[in-house]
Structures are given as structure tokens and as C-alpha cells.
Amino acid sequence: MKEIPVEKNQEFEVTVEDLSYQGRGVAKVDHYPLFIDDALPGEKILAHVMKASRNYGFAKVVKRYNDSPDRQLNTESAYLQTGIAPLQHLKYDAQLRFKQGQIKELLHKAHLDQITVAPTQGMAEPLHYRNKAQIPVRMVNDQLETGFFRQRSHQFVPMHDFLIQDPRIDQVLEVIQTVLREFEVPAYNERQHNGVIRHIVIRRGHYSGQVMVTLVTRSRKLPAGKQIAQQIMEHCSDVVSVYQNINSAKTNVIMGRDEKLLAGKAQIEDQLNGIKFAISPRSFFQVNSLQTEKIYQYVAQTAKLSGEETLIDAYCGIGTISLSLAKQAKQVYGVEIVADAIEDAKRNAALNGITNAEFKVAAAEEQFAKWAKAGLKPDIVVFDPPRKGLETKVLESTLQLMPQKIVYVSCNPATLVRDLKFLTENGYQVTGPIQPFDQFPQTNHVESITVLSRS
């Protein structure tokens, strides 16, 4: 077994060579990689080893001898420590290049160098973009506090300004915290699995300005729940809906299956590209409205819809892509495994007077097989899968349907490249460059759109 050239608590002078896909600096000691937070390529640093495993280690910066020209100065360490904004120390144009580079590198490793990647489409204002916040709540010095956890730890960091959230969300959060303190509602204690408030979830319609608050509780009973809801609404006139969501499990999953409306409306409304959407507490709705609109416009543009096409939207959720494209297509079919989401999609179609969209509750591969058997011949299939990408069964059932065109909206370059390898080996070719979009500025996540045509 090869010897590890570093030990915990040792210090080394190193030069950072690269950035990992998570945005950490990468430096080497005798070819052994160290991953270092808040370190950028070209910076010479004194690194303190925090952990050393067989193949790689983690270190922290003790001293930096020079700054990279790509370093964003005057940053706030709490955003890096908690992982809220792991790239905030990198200038924005460099963040966009980093995200384009991630996809290029993965294509190169998969021997798909013939596929090109366009420059990342960024935001004019890459802060305060999130329309949804999920904030942990804990007791600190016998007082309920909102905040976040340090990365790779259970250490709670009290915070009130979250940098990447809509500033109004931060303001509403402060009011909720004050009201909960006044009513002396205890926060959740993870170790003892007691206390009441686990998380506060806030959504704000980017265009409507309507705010929904969900108090996630460990216990079914929320003392003075209705009075708390009324107080929040009295202090914040834009809060139109207050829910309690019950999550009694010992889990890091944020929301439970049960919820009850404490005050106000059952849903809030917002829109994307002029299409209205009703949003429930557990609805999946993209958190960056401005970039989502750009992405859907790009999908429509690359799909080149003439009004005669039949289109399938796999992983359709509450119908955001389906309904955005319905007015430019002949018929749209959406499929989604979450029954509540399909109910929302049908409601959203009715809300917009859209009659050429049909929605099914099913796993994509099962519904694809049914449609193939029924003789449905879609012109276009749009995929917007979760981070795990497309399962083999979904890819195989897509080959049965034989769409002329596939538009793949990806939130994970690694699974995108894996799926492109399958599709290009099975009769499809990528037309034009992959177009990355910066849906989550200040973080390492990258969305992209790839268009494929049947050879």
C-alpha cells in the first residue's frame, strides 16, 4: 500500500492548481491532492491538513501569499462556511467560465470532444435571486434562532441575511422569528429529538409578490398556531398563506407528508413567461424565476415549434415547461410520478385556459411504453430530470417512441454526459452546442440545455 505523504495537522506551502467541481481549490503534495476551501488557482498558500484519507485530503488556508486575479474581495466567511454561497469568493465572470469548463471537462473524459459548449448565460444581478428559502431553526443561548449549518458538520451558525435570497424573504423571516419568540415556541433539538419548530420555509412570487410561510414542526401540536399565523400576517401584509407542515421523523428531509393551513389562502400565484401557476407548500417550482424564464424561452426556440408538433414533457412537475410550450404546439403530454404535482398541473392548465395539455401520473418509462403501444408518435420529447439523470429504462423506452428531437434540460453535468453517451450511441446526434445557464449563482451548480436529433 502506498504511503500517504501528509498527516493531519501538518502544514505545507503549496500552489493551488485547479478548482474541484465543488469549487474547492486543489493543490498537490507529491501528487497527493488536497481539497481546500476558499483557495483559487494560482494562489500560493500555507495549508493546514484537516483530514487525510488514502487517496486525498482536506486542508484549510492558514495564510495566503497572493490573491488570484479572479478573487472577489470583501466576501463574508459565513456564506462559504455554511455552503450557502461556496463560489462567492470567485468573480462572477470566472464563475460562468468555471461552469462552462465543468461540462467541457466531463465531455472530454467521456471522449465526446466533438460536442461543443457555449459560454454560460449568467444574470445581470447574481445575488438575491432565490424565491424560496428553507431555513433551519435551533435554540441558541435559550433563544430561538434562524441560521444554517457549517458544511460537513452539525454546528449551527445563526444568520439573518442569506445573500442569495430575495431580500423580502429575509425581512419576513426576521418577523417570524420575533413572533415565535413572543409565543415562546421552542426550536427543534436534533440530539434529543424534542422541541417544536424544525424549519421555516418561505416562498415569494417574483411577479405577484405573494408570500407563503410554512412552519415545519416535529410535533402535531403547534401551541397557539392560529394566533401565530395571524400575527405573522398582521405584521406582513404580503404574507397571504401560512401553513404548518408536520415532520416527526428523525431525518434530514425538510418537509413531512402532512400539513394544515393555519391562515389565508391554500396557494399563492406567480407566473413564468406570462403563464400563471398556483403554488402549494410542496409544489416543485424553480427557485430562480428570471433564469427559468430564459431557459424555457431557449427550450421553445431550440424546439422550433410551428404549432403542428406533438410534444412530451417527461418529469413535468406542476406543468411549468408543458404549459410554457403548449401555446406553440399542437398537443402536449406531461408525465410525472408525483400525484399531487399532476393535480397542480391540471389546475394550472385550467387557470390559463390551456386545453391541449394532458397530464398522467406514472413513472416516465411505464407511460412511454404505454404511449408507444398506443401508437403515439411524438415529434419532440423534453427531459428535465432530477440530479440522478435518466434511468436506463427511460432511455430505452425513449428509443421505442423514436422522437425526431430530444431537448434535455440538465441540472447535473455528470449524468447529462452519461446520458448523451447512450443517446449518441443509439441513433441520436447533438445539434449545436450545449448551452449552460447559471440558475444558481454563487454556487457550483450548473443547468444546461442540449438538443439532439434522430440521425
Question: Any idea which residues carry the catalytic annotation?
Answer: 411
Strand 310-314 relative to strand 380-383, pairing: parallel
Burial 359-390 (b: 16+ CB within 10 A, else e): bbebbbbebbbebbeeeeebbbbbbbbeeebb
Grid cell in block for residue 146: 434562524
CA gap 340, 383 in Å, rounded: 20
In this structure, what DSSP letter does residue 126 have?
A: -
CA gap 69, 24 in Å, rounded: 17
Phi, psi dihedral angles at 47 (to 5 degrees): -110, 135
Grid cell in block for residue 102: 465543468
CA gap 59, 46 in Å, rounded: 10
CA gap 96, 103 in Å, rounded: 12
Phi, psi dihedral angles at 14 (to 5 degrees): -135, 160
| Closest listed residue to residue 451, CA positions, set 119, 116, 21 | 116
Measured between alpha carbons, how far apart are the two ends of the chain, in Å?
49
Q: Are 6 and 49 in contact (CB under 8 A)?
A: yes
Q: Spell out where 78-224 has E strands.
A: 132-140, 143-149, 156-158, 197-204, 211-217
